[in-house]
Amino acid sequence: MEIVETKDYEEMSILAAEKVIDRVLKQPQITLGLPTGHTPVGLYKRLVEDHRKNETPYQDVITFNLDEYTDLSPDHPNSYHYYMNHHFFQHIDIQEKHAHLPDGTARNLDLECERYEELILKHGGVDLQILGIGQNGHIGFNEPGTPLNSRTHVVKLSESTRKANSRYFHSLQDVPYHAITMGLATIMNSKEILLLASGAHKSATMFRFFHEAVTPDFPATILKHHPNVTVIADRPALKEAN
């Protein structure tokens, strides 16, 4: 595992963007796995700036988002569909049919999970998976206790995750109770993984990430079994880990 410490959030975002741009230029038909949340906002901003300035092409890029809430329509401002369009897709030349997110409004959510997992496999798996990390060690919405061999599935969100995400909603009651997420095995199938972390509120998380053995109690630890992981994290996030 390669660990890159940056001065701050800005530098983390710049280095992450450089890596993604490099991979897209080398492999124009790359399949990217994408996160939402606060952490990658700066990365998407840099990718959009670069696209405007240097015309890095996304016409043939395929994307799969990690997760989506259930029961929010794609145009709901808190849905991850909306987030991705707002921060990234509408600013680049990606083809709509190439940008995939789980459908959290599907009638049969289990079937939707199967469809999503199969679609990822059909595209040959994710080439570069970008991840944030939850304070409880979740990646995607794989909460503590998720089996390490899990594939795309429906999850009940933990109260700590609902609380953390309620900052984007009017109130805690408005935060959905469930989501669809790629599983830990789905994530581990990716050829390359880029984990991003920023801020002092992630320092205890990063300490546990580096020092705990692989355990479902802290799902991100599974990344230690992956042969090609880069962590780009800023100094505040790494202050306890050093």
Question: What part of residues 117-146 is at the interface with ligand F6R (CB under 6 A)?
Answer: 132-134, 138-140
Minimum CB separation of residue 140 from ligand F6R in Å reads 4
Minimum CB separation of residue 55 from ligand F6R in Å reads 27
Task: Output 168 or 210, the one with its CB closest to ligand F6R.
Answer: 168
- Reply yes or no on whether 67 is catalytic: yes
Task: Output 25 or 190, the one with its CB closest to ligand F6R.
Answer: 190
Question: What part of residues 35-94 is at the interface with ligand F6R (CB under 6 A)?
Answer: 35-39, 66-67
Which of these, 194, 203, 197, 201, lies nearest to 238 by C-alpha position? 203
Angle, in degrees to the nearest 10, between helices 80-87 and 41-54: 40
Task: Output 36 or 56, the one with its CB closest to ligand F6R.
Answer: 36
Length of the chain: 242
Task: Supply the DSSP string of the chain, one letter for each residue.
Answer: -EEEEESSHHHHHHHHHHHHHHHHHH-TT-EEEE--SSTTHHHHHHHHHHHHHH----TT-EEEESEEESS--TTSTTSHHHHHHHHTGGGS---GGGEE---TT-SSHHHHHHHHHHHHHHTTS-SEEEE---TTS-BTTB-TT--TT--SEEEEPPHHHHHHHGGGSSSGGGS-SEEEE--HHHHHTSSEEEEEE-SGGGHHHHHHHHHSPSBTTBGGGGGGG-SSEEEEEEHHHHTTT-
Question: What part of residues 153-172 is at the interface with ligand F6R (CB under 6 A)?
Answer: none
Task: Output 84 or 109, the one with its CB closest to ligand F6R.
Answer: 84
The answer to whether 104 contacts ligand F6R (rule: CB under 6 A) is: no
- Reply yes or no on whether 87 is catalytic: no
Minimum CB separation of residue 136 from ligand F6R in Å reads 9
With contacts defined by CB under 6 A, how many residues of the chain interact with ligand F6R? 13
The residue from 65, 67, 68, 127 that is catalytic is 67
Question: Of all residues in this chain, which one has the CB nearest to ligand F6R in the complex?
Answer: 132
Residue 29, amino acid? Q
The region of 5-13, 29-37, 86-94, 147-155 touching ligand F6R under the rule CB under 6 A is: 29-37
The residue from 51, 87, 98, 138 that is catalytic is 138
The residue from 68, 112, 117, 143 that is catalytic is 143
Please state the separation of Cα 41 from the chain's center in Å.
Answer: 11
- For ligand F6R, the binding residues (CB under 6 A) are 35-39, 66-67, 132-134, 138-140
Give the residue numbers annotated as catalytic, written as ranges: 67, 136, 138, 143
